[in-house]
Structure 1
Amino acid sequence: MSKNLPDMSRIALEHISLRRMPSQQRSRERVERMLNCAAGLIADQGSDAMKMSEVARLADISIGSLYQYFPDKSAIIRALAEHYGAECLKCIEDGLAGVTSLDALCEAMGTLTDVYYALFLAEPVIRDIRFGTQADKSLQDLEITESRKSGALLSDALLRVAPNADDSSVRAACFLIMYLGEQTMRLAISVPPDEGAVLVTAYKRMAEAELRQAASSRP
């Protein structure tokens, strides 16, 4: 897998929950513009300071048009969280697609962790949303759902290279690895950079040990 960061800039409405789903291309482009403007505001000043009226002004639409799709600021933030979550899942899927051995899987998982950490460092919107998850029940639920999906991708890859492993043990371990990865990223960017890098390295060691343990499990 390439160590280049995935392109998170294009908003894909297919993975986003909206109050009203636009059917025409022009409407879809208008909603994408709303989300891009919201992302720009969050990057500049954080989600707490973002105002619906400012999103509407930057997107060159009426506030009523904005409310047709997003009833409040939380709905915009959730839509962006869904977008980034879908892009990260695609990155994981691509990164694990070609693995043919346990060693290759562990290496790919390490690379994915490095890429995800780099995204947290480089993308202020992702950082803001992930930090906000701790105070928003709907975002907490979304994060658990995303961890289950990414855990399923990891467990499928592990069972492909270790077909005799216990299915339930593998799936539980992979779900936990992916969920703890999110927590590690939040912690790593909350401390000085040198310490954060050490924490990410420690997580990678623990994740690899758990993958190897799960691969050796038997029904």
Structure 2
Amino acid sequence: MSPTKPSVAVLDYGTGNLRSAERALVRAGAQVEVTSDYDAATEADGLVVPGVGAFEACMTGLRGVRGDRLIGRRLAGGRPVLGICVGMQILFDRGVEHGVETEGCAEWPGTVERLKAPIVPHMGWNVVEVPEGSTLFAGVEDERFYFVHSYAVREWELHATGGFRQPAVTWTPYDGDRFVAAVENGPLCATQFHPEKSGDAGAHLLANWVGSLR
């Protein structure tokens, strides 16, 4: 008798590559439901928060399905959440786009801002600088991943104090700039790149995350 697959809810709040994420997570070994239902997303073993487009629009959509409360509730109970692209960005304190500042979910301190590189958006494959001991990147530390974005967190502001473990922060250099490419912080993980569009490396990373839900 084969073990039950971990259940993963992909949060539908009006933005994100929902079907691409769904297909990739199924290949990674999860039983997947795309849903905006608060209770279903609360009860799943893992929650994936995708996101594309503007920070402000994503936060508006997220609040419309109580996604900000959902994320907080899951994390309070130690239940895993994975943010992807803008789904990662909205986990920080705020986003600043075209002079407009929007409050995020504030799970991490920091500001999402426009990249300082000469060519924006940053589009295509790029390397990542993975910290030692990463679980998410185990086996793909030296691989490239696919990015499409103009904004990112360029300064990491959360540091270990009072005996708390420092989150594992992965960085990516880009044309003279540098930004946070991924974070592993207990039950909360996130990637600025799109693992669902990153070929075998992305599939391996998602399998690592799904495997951690067992």
| Both structures adopt the same fold (TM-score exceeding 0.5) | no
Higher helix share: 1
TM-score (norm 2): 0.28
Higher strand share: 2
Question: Which of these two proteins has the greater Rg computed from alpha carbons?
Answer: 1
Normalized against structure 1, the TM-score is what?
Answer: 0.28
